[in-house]
Structure 1
């Protein structure tokens, strides 16, 4: 655990310290988000925050190579985790910088995302097995494993990119998802007396660190946006951790009574990323129904609807954090407890409280505003106009 805590700390500190310098560079470079109709910010804000996150990732990987046990994880036989993260992350970062500055067309970005997934595959990060209901593993030949890996990488990147619409939203949601993946992988390895040092757990730890380091600069009011540079990078790392974690645990070793944890890697990211994935699917359906490109922007995302309900900017972000945390905690909790009913009951109770707060808080705020308006004294009448006296 000490190795992981050090990795998280290094990634967070470096990302935090690099962000102000990246902000100044973004202003000089001309990579600033202009105010558009669909945006919620009202002043031009620098982008390229993903450069600081990439710096945090590189620093964490370099430090990990200096730890003897972590070095084995980064160069684990046929899977070169360190090289995959640096090469694929570097490519997606360069693509994001170009898009944040010159706004690339969707086809170019898609090609770059597929190329980043291809680097993963060449370095050994690929779906090799899928769990079956009977407790066995289905081996995937390259004809199926390669396209499925590319699909997961591209879908996760774009899901994170779609949700990056409010200050601190994408960094917080992905950080929670990464923390859930890290907790699941570490605890399952520890409880089953397996090695806790794995590429999937290390990638999740790096992702937790860079999100935590960047979030103080990005929370409302944001001084810098991560841009496509950051959203594509953290989506890439999230997909990498998921792919490496799938099939890592042998169902025969876990036993017939413990098969559910074997499916958690396939369920955890869709669950914690349910908000961005659903928002992405609804956006594609909505835009194609209107005869527009699925990549054309609009102002009907979920976070926009929360603002329309009367929530403040910060409260809308915290609501999204709440639902993602609830789904993640539910899945991880079910993996490590025999009482599914207890976990479901607690989750349902917390969800009811959350729904009540989400609906009631805007109404309470509106009532308080009306009450203050009624109780406040009327403004004094304007003074009579001054007239000049005749001489």
Structure 2
């Protein structure tokens, strides 16, 4: 069976697997009362089923069986243990909240399985900033930091309906294209599998009557897959894709990777900077994320905010792929820094120095309501008696 036929069957199978299992998960979650209770920083106001990401895990495990003949370095044997660790940790965190330290230890253990596989070794940056050879210990440090950053960044953007799904879908479409052109068909099939999962899940996530969240179970799994694909992308060498033609110079791959992941990376860097500036822990919860700004300050709905952020991601990637086809590293670095500084200028003015914006909004409404009642009471007292 050729790649095209396999890709179609994998996508349809993944989509149906998630689409058919999500309703069953919803029923079990509702029956066992494992709902996500809204709190002061939540974007939802009613109890909502979570654990939607559990369907991703089973779908990926089954998909690995059907695409096992497409790999070269038995990558699935190294990916599945890490995937299982994050599934268990995410499941427990959705049911019983875990500390950031516990999740970080689990993530380090999960990515260790991937880093030791020869397929992901980054031996050179192909001339990026005049860097060619990379020692093995430096690869482990860079690769480990990269994977941890991506996993946690994706986990943090899962804050409103549809956002994590849309951003994930955009990233998977781009990586599917890149790995298809570079003839790394195994990784293209992984991206297609994940895309089928996210597209099926998206319909439930934005539904009004069958809503479910992917939870940490899902966001950790998706973030893990994105980090694997990114690591493999950076490990590509000109000889690896033979006669295939990528639409950009391979030496610009690090900047292309940043552009692909710009939404979670920028948002994470922004909220961490604000929290540290406010003398809080970088993982302390608040409503400082970009999607919260779009909803709370600009009055957009969840779907509108998710759509705008997704479109921005696509435009940003297309722009950098065009620049990466000709421009040298220095020009692209200047362009990237300029865009990030511009975005920082726009969004950093929404620096909330209080616990949550929602608290302040509710307090303001309560004060306005009390003022209205007081004025009404005063007017009644002053009304002349006949």
How far does the alpha carbon of each residue in 1:154-209 deviate from its partner, in whole angstroms, 9 at most, with x for none?
A: 1001110111011111011011111111112213x3xxxxxx34333232222212
Residue 114 (structure 2) pairs with residue 120 (structure 1): yes
CA distance in 2, matches of 1:220, 1:17: 15
Whether the aligned pair in 1 keeps the contact of 2:166 and 2:307 (CA below 8 Å) is no
Residue 188 (structure 2) pairs with residue 201 (structure 1): yes
Query: What's the counterpart of residue 19 of structure 1?
Result: 22
Q: 1:216 aligns with which of 196, 203, 208?
A: 203
Give 1:1-391 correspondences, 5 Å limit.
1-65=4-68, 71-73=69-71, 76=72, 79-133=73-127, 138-187=132-181, 189=182, 196-221=183-208, 223-250=211-238, 260-263=248-251, 265-307=253-295, 308-333=297-322
Whether the aligned pair in 1 keeps the contact of 2:128 and 2:252 (CA below 8 Å) is no
CA distance in 2, matches of 1:200, 1:244: 8
Q: CA deviation at 1:42?
A: 0.7
Q: CA deviation at 1:293?
A: 1.1
Decide whether aligned partners of structure 1 residues 134 and 331 sit closer, same or farther in structure 2, where only a CA change above 3 A counts. closer
Instruction: Please identify, of 168-177 and 83-92, the stretch whose mean Cα deviation from structure 2 is larger.
Output: 83-92
Q: Secondary structure at the match of 1:131?
A: strand
CA distance in 2, matches of 1:61, 1:252: 22
Q: CA deviation at 1:252?
A: 10
Q: CA deviation at 1:258?
A: 8.1
Whether the aligned pair in 2 keeps the contact of 1:203 and 1:240 (CA below 8 Å) is no
CA distance in 2, matches of 1:258, 1:109: 36
How far does the alpha carbon of each residue in 1:280-332 deviate from its partner, in whole angstroms, 9 at most, with x for none?
A: 11111111111211111001211111012121221111111111121233344
Decide whether aligned partners of structure 1 residues 72 and 184 sit closer, same or farther in structure 2, where only a CA change above 3 A counts. closer
Whether the aligned pair in 1 keeps the contact of 2:38 and 2:46 (CA below 8 Å) is yes
For structure 2, the 5+ residue unaligned runs are 333-338, 344-386
How many residue pairs get aligned? The number is: 325
Decide whether aligned partners of structure 1 residues 29 and 94 sit closer, same or farther in structure 2, where only a CA change above 3 A counts. farther
Decide whether aligned partners of structure 1 residues 16 and 125 sit closer, same or farther in structure 2, where only a CA change above 3 A counts. farther
Q: CA deviation at 1:339?
A: 10
Query: What's the counterpart of residue 347 of structure 2?
Result: none
Whether the aligned pair in 1 keeps the contact of 2:126 and 2:237 (CA below 8 Å) is no
Whether the aligned pair in 2 keeps the contact of 1:31 and 1:46 (CA below 8 Å) is yes
For structure 1, the 5+ residue unaligned runs are 66-70, 190-195, 345-350, 356-391
Q: What is the TM-score normalised by the length of structure 2?
A: 0.76
How far does the alpha carbon of each residue in 1:193-234 deviate from its partner, in whole angstroms, 9 at most, with x for none?
A: xxx343332322222121112111112547100001101100
Decide whether aligned partners of structure 1 residues 303 and 14 sit closer, same or farther in structure 2, where only a CA change above 3 A counts. same
Whether the aligned pair in 1 keeps the contact of 2:64 and 2:76 (CA below 8 Å) is yes
Decide whether aligned partners of structure 1 residues 310 and 147 sit closer, same or farther in structure 2, where only a CA change above 3 A counts. same
Q: CA deviation at 1:100?
A: 0.3
Q: What is the TM-score normalised by the length of structure 1?
A: 0.75
Whether the aligned pair in 1 keeps the contact of 2:128 and 2:251 (CA below 8 Å) is no
How far does the alpha carbon of each residue in 1:114-170 deviate from its partner, in whole angstroms, 9 at most, with x for none?
A: 111011123445332232437987343331111211111110011101110111110
CA distance in 2, matches of 1:197, 1:246: 13
Decide whether aligned partners of structure 1 residues 133 and 63 sit closer, same or farther in structure 2, where only a CA change above 3 A counts. closer
Q: CA RMSD in A?
A: 2.9
Query: What's the counterpart of residue 360 of structure 1?
Result: none
Instruction: Please identify, of 163-172 and 19-28, the stretch whose mean Cα deviation from structure 2 is larger.
Output: 19-28
Decide whether aligned partners of structure 1 residues 259 and 59 sit closer, same or farther in structure 2, where only a CA change above 3 A counts. closer
Query: What's the counterpart of residue 370 of structure 1?
Result: none
CA distance in 2, matches of 1:204, 1:18: 20
